[in-house]
Chain A
Amino acid sequence: EPEVTQTPSHQVTQMGQEVILRCVPISNHLYFYWYRQILGQKVEFLVSFYNNEISEKSEIFDDQFSVERPDGSNFTLKIRSTKLEDSAMYFCASRGDGRNSPLHFGNGTRLTVT
């Protein structure tokens, strides 16, 4: 069964540094998402992306965050200047066309900001 893949599985960075989290969605999917889960808390929506543009973003997704689909397969989340509170598990998800297509999630990237 096709999977959403995320790299790296674990990223450690220093406060103030830029990080790029990478995702390869399922190949025929059209809608892409980033979620995050701070340790011990609920999974929170960050941003959705369709047709090469952001379709919705949450309050968390401020100017420090950006997303890009640089080619036909990758979907990236960039954090320009990381803060300690950005430490979390970041999940990428994708879904196919149709309102009721479920989201398929990757295994996540654990970001640790020191």
Chain B
Amino acid sequence: AQSVTQLDSQVPVFEEAPVELRCNYSSSVSVYLFWYVQYPNQGLQLLLKYLSGSTLVKGINGFEAEFNKSQTSFHLRKPSVHISDTAEYFCAVSSYNQGGKLIFGQGTELSVKP
């Protein structure tokens, strides 16, 4: 079985500062990794995904994430955040043989302050 741990439930940062949202996973099989964003009162929007190949993946809105197999991590980063990045961010994992079912982490609330 897979599990996902997001180590920080809340991350407050100032506008234009860099941010890293941490995600660790556990799985006995190879996985696909995802980050989703949830803006207030909206659904889940895919930010980026790691399927294979390059361990550094770039997504929408200037976000990127790096897959580290030895540390079983998939941390999300942005070099300079905007007020509009304020949202809940979810890391998720699915395995090759699970028909696309996603297992989500607890979520990290990113709060960007002016």
What is the number of residues of chain B that contact chain A, defined by CB distance less than 8 Å? 24
Interface of A: prevailing SS: strand
Contact B43 A91 (CB under 8 A): yes
Say yes or no for B100: interface residue by CB 8 A criterion.
yes
A33 CB contacts on chain B under 8 angstroms: 100-101
CA A55 to CA B5, docked complex, whole Å: 26
- Nearest Cβ on chain A to B94's Cβ, whole angstroms: 8
CA A35 to CA B100, docked complex, whole Å: 13
CA A31 to CA B94, docked complex, whole Å: 14
CA A105 to CA B102, docked complex, whole Å: 12
Answer whether A102 and B107 are a contact pair too, CB < 8 Å, given A43-B90, A107-B42: no
Contact A31 B99 (CB under 8 A): yes
B83 CB contacts on chain A under 8 angstroms: none
Q: Which of A11-19, A61-69, A93-101 contacts B (4 or more CB under 8 A)?
A: A93-101
A102 CB contacts on chain B under 8 angstroms: 34, 46, 49
Answer whether A95 and B101 are a contact pair too, CB < 8 Å, given A100-B32, A105-B45: no
Answer whether A104 and B103 are a contact pair too, CB < 8 Å, given A43-B90, A99-B96: no
Residue ranges of A at the interface with B (Cβ–Cβ < 8 Å)? 4, 6, 31, 33, 35, 41-45, 48, 50, 55-56, 91, 93, 95, 99-108
30 contacts between A and B (CB under 8 A): A6-B43, A31-B99, A35-B102, A41-B106, A42-B90, A42-B106, A43-B44, A43-B92, A45-B101, A45-B102, A48-B101, A50-B99, A55-B99, A56-B98, A56-B101, A93-B44, A95-B100, A99-B32, A100-B32, A100-B51, A100-B52, A101-B100, A102-B34, A103-B46, A103-B100, A104-B46, A105-B36, A105-B43, A105-B45, A107-B42
3 closest pairs, A vs B, by CB?
A107-B43, A105-B44, A43-B104
